[in-house]
Amino acid sequence: MRRKAFLITLLLIQSFLQACDVPVFRYALERWERDLYRLFVVHQRKLNEKESELLQQLNNNSLPNFGHTNYRLYDVDLNHEKIRESFQKSFPDLKDLKTDTPKLILRFPFKSSFPKEVIWQGELNQENVDKLLNSKATEELMKGILQGYSSTFLLMESGDQAKDQKIAKLITQAIEKFEKELKIPKGVVQTDGNVTGGELTPLQAARRDPSNVLKSGIPLKINFNFMRMPNNGANKIFRNILSKTHDPKQTANEPKLYAFFGRGRLLGPMVGDEITSEELTLLAEYLCGACSCQMKQQNPGLDFLTNLDWTGFLEGSEVVVDKTLPPLIGVIDMAAKSKAEKTSSKPNPPDLPQAVNDEQKSTLSKNLSVTLGLVLALIIGGTFIMRKK
């Protein structure tokens, strides 16, 4: 019920404040950068040659170091007094952590709903590094988005064949209906110069809101990808991230539906009897509706851990409407940056006091978002009251 009420609220906001006409799924793909997970390499001795190579591999693949995986890497040497004290102060749940062999610890992003949660931990070895960087399940999920689908629906099966098949049929029928009935909002400037709806010129649409100009030539269409996965499918890191979005004890024997869109943004899950035609329609209308709420943190969802060059994929097909238009808010062009810009061949020790500051900033950001949401609710409520009068 809470999820339903939240989606209805978002749809109401879209109808009242529509300015940017780009669908949510496409706006998220082109303009919402991913939040960074936090990956710690914790050790109490000097790393040997192989372990140092693995640390360097993780460092090179991190987004802040011009890699493509959305995590920030911290090298935590517990023998270093200041680093140990900062680490224990920042993460009191790991205060008594001791490890004979170097350990990997993965936490959610600061800006997520559960920043203090440990997702997974394991030894620093090649197998675990591969799990972090090369998830086949994530690759399959993102493949649909890269092919131009509005969203990928993932059904995590319960193991009850009859129940899973019933839900899968319902989802398939709903997708067929959405692809026939839902329409792209009017006023979106595509890379071929055409404007959806045919009522505005490219310049008129861009002047209405510069964000109406698409930034890539990926086909703009309403089309949903549907995947099914056994409850024990994928690697443990993948499953653990999903498990934090619900209570595994209460939902273990129920099918769960997730929606992936943008650069791996995750919505859900709907669980068991919550997976209805009505709920699916609300979800699809939100994803395909105009993105009036352009700040990512004011929208629901969690950024999944993905190792993909989204920037490189989106580059090379921007629409040029008018040179005097205000600059569009775009993605960071990391592909254009030279790897020679890296300041060191080795990852620096973690600036853990800064990590605490980031968490405080994140809290402030959340509080600001809540305040803005309350102001918005008052404006909308006042509008309803004035209309009644």
Residue 143, class by beta-carbon neighbours within 10 Å (0-12 exposed, 13-18 middle, 19+ buried)?
A: middle
Give pLDDT, residue 358.
Answer: 46
On whether residue 360 sits in a domain, the answer given is no
Domain interval for residue 65: 37-134
Give pLDDT, residue 330.
Answer: 26
On whether residue 338 sits in a domain, the answer given is no
- 287 and 155, same structural domain? yes
- 66 and 208, same structural domain? no
Structure tokens at 55: 């640390």
- 119 and 95, same structural domain? yes
On whether residue 78 sits in a domain, the answer given is yes
Residue 348, class by beta-carbon neighbours within 10 Å (0-12 exposed, 13-18 middle, 19+ buried)?
A: exposed
List the CATH number of the domain containing 68: 3.40.30
Residue 155: DSSP 8-state: E
Among 258, 285, 314, give the residue marking a domain's end. 314
How many domains does one find in the chain?
Answer: 2
- 173 and 272, same structural domain? yes
- 64 and 25, same structural domain? no
Give pLDDT, residue 153.
Answer: 97
Structure tokens at 30: 């082109």
On whether residue 296 sits in a domain, the answer given is yes
Asked if residues 366 and 115 have their Cβ atoms less than 8 Å apart, the reply is no
Q: Tell me which residues of the chain have a pLDDT lower than 70.
A: 1-19, 292-294, 316-389
- 48 and 103, same structural domain? yes
Among 134, 154, 186, give the residue marking a domain's end. 134
Structure-token match 């936090």, residue found:
38
- 173 and 99, same structural domain? no
On whether residue 365 sits in a domain, the answer given is no
**Residues whose CB falls within 8 Å of the CB of residue 229, separated by 6 or more in sequence, listed in order:** 137, 154, 155, 156, 157
Give pLDDT, residue 3.
Answer: 54
HSE-CB at 47 with a 13 A cutoff on CA atoms is: 22
Continuous H helices in the chain: 2-16, 24-31, 49-61, 81-90, 126-133, 136-146, 161-181, 202-208, 236-243, 248-251, 277-288, 310-314, 352-388
- 103 and 250, same structural domain? no
Give pLDDT, residue 376.
Answer: 47
Cα 253-258-263 angle, rounded to 5 deg = 150
102 upstream amide cis, omega within 30 of 0: no
Element (H, E) at 274: none
Among 81, 109, 134, give the residue marking a domain's end. 134
Give pLDDT, residue 332.
Answer: 23
- 162 and 68, same structural domain? no
On whether residue 50 sits in a domain, the answer given is yes
The model's pLDDT over 191-247, given as tens digits with 9 standing for 90+, comes to: 888 888 888 888 888 887 788 888 888 888 999 999 999 977 778 899 999 988 887
- 108 and 27, same structural domain? no
> Considering Cα of 339, then 342, then 344, then 347, what sign does the dihedral take?
negative
- 179 and 41, same structural domain? no
- 173 and 81, same structural domain? no
Structure tokens at 103: 């350990």
On whether residue 49 sits in a domain, the answer given is yes
- How long, in residues, is the chain? 389
Asked if residues 232 and 331 have their Cβ atoms less than 8 Å apart, the reply is no
DSSP 315-331: TT------TTSPPP---
Whole-number Å distance between alpha carbons of 307 and 325? 33
On whether residue 385 sits in a domain, the answer given is no
Mapping DSSP to helix (H, G, I), strand (E, B) and coil, where does residue 256 land? strand
